Structure 1
Amino acid sequence: MKLTLRRQQVRVPGGRIGQVLVPPWFTDPERGMVRCDAAPLLAVWLSKSLSGAGGRPAVGNDGSHGVELCAALGPAAAVAGDDGSPVSGIMSTVSWADRRGGVGGFALVTHCDDRVALEAAGEAMRQWAGLLRSRRLLLTDMPALCRGGRRAAQMIDAMTREAIRSDGGRVFVVGRPVADETRLVAWKLSGVVHVDDLDAVPDGAPVVFPAHGVSPSVRAEAARRSLRVVDGTCPLVTAVHADAAAYAARGDHVVVIGDRRHASLPILAACAGPAAEVVHSALDVRSSTTGAHGSEPGPVSFVIDPGMAVEDALPIVTALRDRVPRLAGHHFDVLCDAASDRAQTIASVSSGSELTLILAADEIDPDAQDALRMATAHPYPRGPAGFDEGRAGGSCAVDVVTCLADLKPERLAGVTAVGLVGTLSAPAGLREQVVAALAGLGPLTCRRRTVDTAPAPFKAGEPSDERLGDDASPAMGPPVRVTDRDPALITARCVVPDPPDTLV
């Protein structure tokens, strides 16, 4: 790309005193039309840097020296001045050509007599030209929701369509619905109401149970009132709830293993009975009185919250077995690998990137914090070819991006490998905006990565998922199976996508 880099400054019709125009495209005399995919990002950056520069307002009458992202500006365009007559402009451009013949770049247009704007544009062109390079973008390629979550969301969609067709009534969902922003807005407009309990649900109204289930008392009340229940509980969650209730019914002391941040944990504990013990880590087990001081406890069984990563849960089981040798518990077939796959996918993308961008609604969003923890859990590879050269302790560079303005150009300086992690709360269209902006800063190669754990056959040919086989939960669909040629339990696949139109 560096060999094709070209900087020019030409006179054009257009430009106003107090404005720095950022065109979405311009025309190069030799290369023709040049797309400026980074124009929105450049405009946001200039707006911040020029906000205190003084001068006449670019847009509005607030007295600030701002930036306008114009609709289209080519050599033949004429921008009228305040008196209606054309004014002279200077267009500074940077462009490059990629190996496929595509052309990209960016430009700034200022009035030839606006000294402040000319200086600002010159400095901006110098800084942004330094950002240009070929980059590799590694994107997480995983569903925003697990299979159980997608199943519950589809049930809510179906209920809203039915309600609209019938009487236009409301659909009630126990607990806050879990979905992306676009879907949540659509549900709200369609009359979906989330409730914490059934007291707010009118008799005869449809009510949907969420993927993480509801407590036994809520189920009993729904049955007593004969409510129109649509059970969106994940089949794996249902199986774990049944195990917890069965262990409690036979008199076992039930230890519930789960993450305190998950809404499903209190519900599972309720299924295990009032005497259930909840533990979140191996440290909790060591401080527990169960099996302490070599005492011989009564029957002890464990259940694991399906929303907990398997890698976090199994060490707790090991700690329990050290204290209670005769520990019983449910079969590991009911464990959900979605949380583990998500964590491993994010960690893999982060470890393969110099800068990881996490897309979320805000920095304190739980989904963003979870992704941030996963991205920083694994440092960069060390050594002469590692990304951590010059980084103390091999720390990961991770930014949370809530809007295009959060994408800081100075963080991209010198960065060749970028990771992009989406979250459930990310604003609609943000991923596309970020990808387009990166594509406007040099030739961009996009790759997708996911870690997918799937059942694998035993050597004798017996399936490892007898309890939850193809017929056990038809609503979830058959489990994904690996072929005989690929017996690995965990496979990371890298898929080359069709290049979107926005990519150079």
Structure 2
Amino acid sequence: MKLTLQRRQVRVPEGRIGHVLVLPWFIDPERGPVRCDAAPLLAEWLSASLSRAAGNVHGVELRAVPGAGEIGAGPSAAGVMSSVSWVGRDGGVGGFALVTHRDDGVASAAATAAMRRWTELLRSRRLLVTDMPALCRGGRRAVRMVDGMAREATRPDGGRLFVVGRPVTGAPWPTAWRQAGVVCVDDLDAVPDGAPVVFPAHGVPPSIRAEAARRPLRVIDGTCPLVTAVQADAAAYAARGDHVVVIGDRSHASLPVLTACAGPAAEVVHGVADVPAAVARTQDAVSFVIDPGMAVEDALPIVTALRDHVPQLAGHHFDVLCDAASDRAQTIASVSSGSELTFVLAADERDPDAQVALRSAATRPPAGFPAVRVVTRLADLEAEPLAGATAIGLVVTQSAPAGLREQVVAALAGLGPLTCRRRTVDTTPLPVRAAGPIEDAPAGDRGTGGTVAERPDSLV
């Protein structure tokens, strides 16, 4: 790219005092049409720069100027177009260009500084993007249920569909749901008899489930099958008199529901440090359940700590553990570890999804490049962090504003040749085949006075 980099300044008919035009494309006299994918980002940066320098007297406008750069504008033309362009591997031409009035000193100085600063950012880059679904399988299943019921509920008689629970902030489907007449509620008080009501993927407390069974409601149970299994285990352990330890993540919606299923004496544990206190206050048998929303790698050390304190610890089979949180965390950590600079796209830095992503991204930063930044809008992409980064990671959270990922990718593509790759970690079941029956053992291993040789389980 550096070998083809070309700077040019030509006169153009456009140009107004008090304004800087940022061009989404222009015509280079030698190279022809030039795409300016970084133009929206450059406009944001230039607007902020002019606001600081000139008290917001000058305006910045992102607008195409037909014919800008074509040969024909004479020296008397009022506008000056400053441009930078390069030729990509595929022969396409990229760059950016600004137009100012020749007599506007403030705008000209700002344009010169912007061109110099953003030209310094030009380089070939590799972008690694997290490729993971916004929701786990259970969540996607529940959303499909609501979508299907919403279409059915949109009837001439004004029928409404009720969903217990609140959707995630920034998720795209709530807007469509509201337009279709979907009403999100925290309990069943506002749900009229006979109305359809959907239980969310994380389930509902036993009290709401019991009330729904008593009333003439049309219940569509969207509870994730794994959540249902864990909640049933918790209820069964509580019913037989066990002291139930609930292992879970504070931020996950299913934790309060699971705790309610485990009974009033349930003890919630968030980390290994909570274990001694959780088991010190009981003489009963102890059982554990793991909230499906917790990363497996975070949960299993807690189980080990519980076993150290309670050798006769009981609990559910690990087949009911959900790998979605682990896969998400490992995907983010992998992208971050392969990047010098990682952008986390989210609605807000305080958003729980953004906080989880930040923790995961910070677990394995590459040596010398611990930079992880939250991006809520295109203007958050600043020049300074980009200046030294060749490998960039992009983490898209569930709350990321619609279209932000595409804007960021386009802007980075406008700052030099961009190689874009997706990465995901996907944990899938691997069946375990038990060792063969005793009849299959060698004859020498089946004597009445001997022992059958142990054979390790084989994985298929």
TM-score (norm 1): 0.83
Q: Secondary structure at the match of 2:90?
A: coil
Deviations 1:221-264 (A, max 9, x none): 00111211110000000000111111111121111111122221
1:117 & 1:77 partners in 2: Cα distance? 22
| 1:314 counterpart residue number | 300
User: Deviations along 1:58-80, whole A, 9 cap, x unmatched?
Assistant: xxxxx6212111134433799xx
Q: What is the match of residue 46 of structure 1? A: 46
Hey, what does 1:96 align to over in structure 2? 86
2:378 paired with 1:404: yes
- Other-structure match for 1:480: none
Give the Cα–Cα distance (whole angstroms) in 2 for the partners of residues 207 and 259 of structure 1: 27
2:39 is the counterpart of 1:65: no
C-alpha contact (below 8 Å) 1:290/1:323 kept by paired residues: no
> Which residue matches 1:439?
413
Partners of 2:180 and 2:435 in 1: CA distance: 48
Residue in 2 aligned with 1:371? 357
Match of 2:451 in 1: none
Instruction: Tell me how many residue pairs correspond in the alignment.
Output: 434
**Equivalent runs, 1:216-295 vs 2, <5 Å:** 216-290=206-280
Partner SS for 1:229? strand
Match of 1:457 in 2: 431
1:361 matched residue in structure 2: 347
2:97 to 90, 103, 107: 107
Q: Does 1:183 align with 2:173?
A: yes
User: Would the aligned equivalents of 2:69 and 2:81 in 1 still touch at CA under 8 Å?
Assistant: no
Q: Which residue of 1 aligns with 2:128?
A: 138
Alpha-carbon shift at residue 286 of structure 1 (Å):
2.1
Unaligned runs of 5+ in 2: 437-458
Matched-pair contact (CA < 8 Å) for 1:13–1:76: no
- 1:174 paired with 2:164, answer yes
Q: Give 1:98 shift.
A: 1.2
What's the CA shift for 1:364? 1.2
> Of the two, which has the highest radius of gyration?
2
- 1:500 aligns with none
1:444-489 CA distances to partner (integer Å, 9 max, x unpaired)? 0000000010011325599xxxxxxxxxxxxxxxxxxxxxxxx89x
> Does structure 1 residue 162 correspond to structure 2 residue 171?
no
Counterpart AA for 2:379: A
Distance 1:94 1:435 in 2: 20
Alpha carbons 1:175, 1:210 under 8 Å: kept? yes
CA distance in 2, matches of 1:376, 1:364: 16
Q: How does 1:382-421 map to 2 (within 5 A)?
A: 382=367, 388=368, 396-421=370-395
Query: Cα deviation per residue 1:337-359 (whole Å; 9 max; x = unaligned)?
Result: 00000000000001100110111
8 Å Cα contact 1:25/1:74 also seen in 2 = no
CA contact (8 A) 1:51 1:65 kept: yes
Q: CA deviation at 1:210?
A: 0.5
Amino acid at match of 2:384: E
Say which SS state the counterpart of residue 287 (structure 1) adopts. helix
Structure 1 residues 155, 22: CA separation in 2 closer, same or farther (over 3 Å shift)? same
Provide Cα deviations, 1:75-110, integer angstroms capped at 9, x if missing partner: 3799xxxxxxx9511111100011111110000111
In 2, distance between residues paired with 1:336 and 1:166?
41
RMSD: 2.0
Counterpart residue number, 2:200:
210
